[in-house]
Every structure is written in C-alpha cells, then in structure tokens.
A = this chain, B = another copy of it.
Amino acid sequence: MLVPLPPVSDLTAHLGFWLRMVSNHVSHAFAGKLAAEGVTVAEWVMMRALYGKDPMPPSRLAEEMGMTRGAITKLADRLIGKTLIVRAADRDDGRAQTLALTPRGTGLVPRLAMLADRNDAEFFDCLMPAERTALEQLLKRLVAHGRITATPTE
C-alpha cells in the first residue's frame, strides 16, 4: 500500500522564488543588450565602478563587487584585452596595482548606462510611479535588514 507523500510547500509559496524569477529575467535581458556591445554584466559593473574615479586597487573592486580577488584579476585581464581598462603598478606599494578606464573605456560607459536605463524601463515602466517607489522602498528595507552590501554582478 502506498504511503501518501508528506505535503511540501510549493516553490511559488516563497517570495524568494518570485524575486529570483524576475531578477534573473531582467538581468538576462540586460546581458543580451550588453552582449551587442561586446561586454558582460560583470565587465559593465567594473567599468561603472571605475568611471569618474581615481585609479583603484583590484582589492577594492573585489569588495565592492562581491567577487574574489582571483575573479577580479581575470575580469580585469579580459577588460585589458579589450583595451577598456589599464593596469598600473602602485607608486608607493610594490605589491599593489591600480585599475583605471582607458579613454575608450570611459567613452563606452555612457553608452552602456543608456542600455541599463532602457532595460530598467522595459521591465518596470509597467508599474505606476507609486508602485515603483513602493517596490524600491521594500527592496531597500530588505537590503538594510539583511545587511547586504556587495554590488550584484552574477
């Protein structure tokens, strides 16, 4: 005789499920737009982090982007290969490096920012202004409550 299975909460019962579903989709769509410019989301985030700032050590980027230093090394290598950023030795500390946008990289950032604006509009313009605000406030509350710090890249 068959024992009935214990009831199990549905996947869709979790807010985390819906959050991830929307987030994945929005990010994936954005990745597609960036790909047309030959850039990945992680590359965009790094370039945006460098834009308008002094040359920055990789360790700082690792912290801001929530990635390991190893991953930053490789990500930087790729951007250097595309001549979008440059790596330079730190003047004072023989161990340290700094990363900075090239002119070409600097010129690209505003174009990519436009794509980000457009992507956001594409998904969130269907909400009323008050709803957008409500969503933003809720998300920021969750960030604060969960002590969430890193810039998302994945």
Contact = CB atoms under 8 A, between A and B. Distances in A.
Interface of A: 5-6, 8-9, 11, 13-27, 30, 45, 48, 51-52, 66, 106, 109-110, 113, 116-117, 119-120, 123-124, 126-127, 131-132, 134-136, 138-143, 145-146, 148, 150-152, 154
A126 to B, nearest CB: 4
A17 B95 CA distance: 33
Given A14-B116, A138-B135, A142-B126, A23 B20 contact: yes
Nearest to A15: B124
Main secondary structure on chain A at its contact with chain B?
helix
Number of copies: 2
5 contacts: A15-B135, A16-B123, A18-B140, A18-B143, A124-B142
A52 B152 contact: no
Contacts of A8: 48, 51-52, 109-110, 113
